[in-house]
Amino acid sequence: MSGVSRRAMLAGAAATTALLGLQPAAAAPLQAPGVYRYRLGDYRLTALYDGVWYLPIDDKFIRNAGGAEVNAALDAAFLPPSVLPISFTALLVDTGRRLVLIDTGTAGQITDTAGSLIANLAAAGVPPDRIDTILISHFHPDHIDGLKTKDGAKVFRHAEIWVPEPEWSFWMDDGNQSRASGAVLGYFRNARRIFHDIAKEVRRFRPGDEVAPGIVSVPAFGHTPGHTAFAIHSGGMSLLVMSDTVRNPYLFARHPDWQPLFDMDGPMAVAARRRMLDQAAADRMLVEAYHFPFPACGHIARTATGYELVPVEWSPL
């Protein structure tokens, strides 16, 4: 190695340390980049970690299961009681011609322990301006907040934004908002905060449509009225992007009938969850979901009482 390239490398190492917050180990305040790459046929996928929300939950969090049952499920996963870890991982799809981002993270507007998506996108070498297409699964804040900064500026300035038509119709309807209260009213207001000044640009798709080359939207209503999953196909391979159909797998894959308060129509969400888990297990599909533990990708195995997520093994490309 020449002196020059060695100096360049040391400078690079120092810059890396600074940029990624990777201090010498004695200080070591921050986690390494939450970036994981994998291939799907000719497409290159990148899991982008945004963080995790440690949500305190009470006996009423699952409509049809008691607090003791839920704590037993957390305990079986070696998790502390009465706190649900809600992990956030967005998916970047590089088709070779377009960069497509599915959902956008929390932008640090939900909890202090999330909001790293843009830093992780940078660690993956992609400035936000390079994103061509954004696909939104549904309008809950943790999926759409990343579209804007806290000050209301667009984050992905050159991206076409595509949203499910029934999701738009529901959340942007003033009559629906007038009948809402509590957290749901907050979601209505937040959707307006995000979309009010870009409404004309936002493109709407019918769930079931192909929304980008090789990316087909899949209706999965129930969690919200227009909640949508996606199937990505390339080179004879497929990935099912389950969105919020299944969230923390230790609760909702193992106990697919549980109806958390997050699911606006509990029975309809259970039907979508079971339909998708059944298909993934039967077809041995590669699956991905926004709230699975990072890198949020694996397979679904059927068990005697429910389903298990079998995570992919971290590997080089």
For a second copy, the binding residues (CB under 8 A) are: 9, 11-13, 15-20, 22-26, 28-37, 44, 46, 49, 51-52, 76-79, 85, 87, 92, 94, 96, 99, 113, 116, 122-126, 130, 284, 293-295, 298-299, 301, 310-311, 313-317
- 1 or 175: whose CB is closer to a second copy? 1
Give 85's Cβ-side CA count (13 Å radius).
Answer: 17
- 33 or 226: whose CB is closer to a second copy? 33
- 151 or 174: whose CB is closer to a second copy? 151
Pairing relation of β-strands 286-288 and 210-212?
unpaired
CB of 123 to a second copy, least distance (A): 7
CB of 165 to a second copy, least distance (A): 29
CB of 82 to a second copy, least distance (A): 17
CB of 278 to a second copy, least distance (A): 17
- One-letter identity of residue 34: G
User: Both tokens of residue 228?
Assistant: 């949508």
- 76 or 198: whose CB is closer to a second copy? 76
CB of 166 to a second copy, least distance (A): 31
- 57 or 270: whose CB is closer to a second copy? 57
- 31 or 64: whose CB is closer to a second copy? 31
Bridge partners of residue 260, in order along the sequence? 62
CB of 247 to a second copy, least distance (A): 12
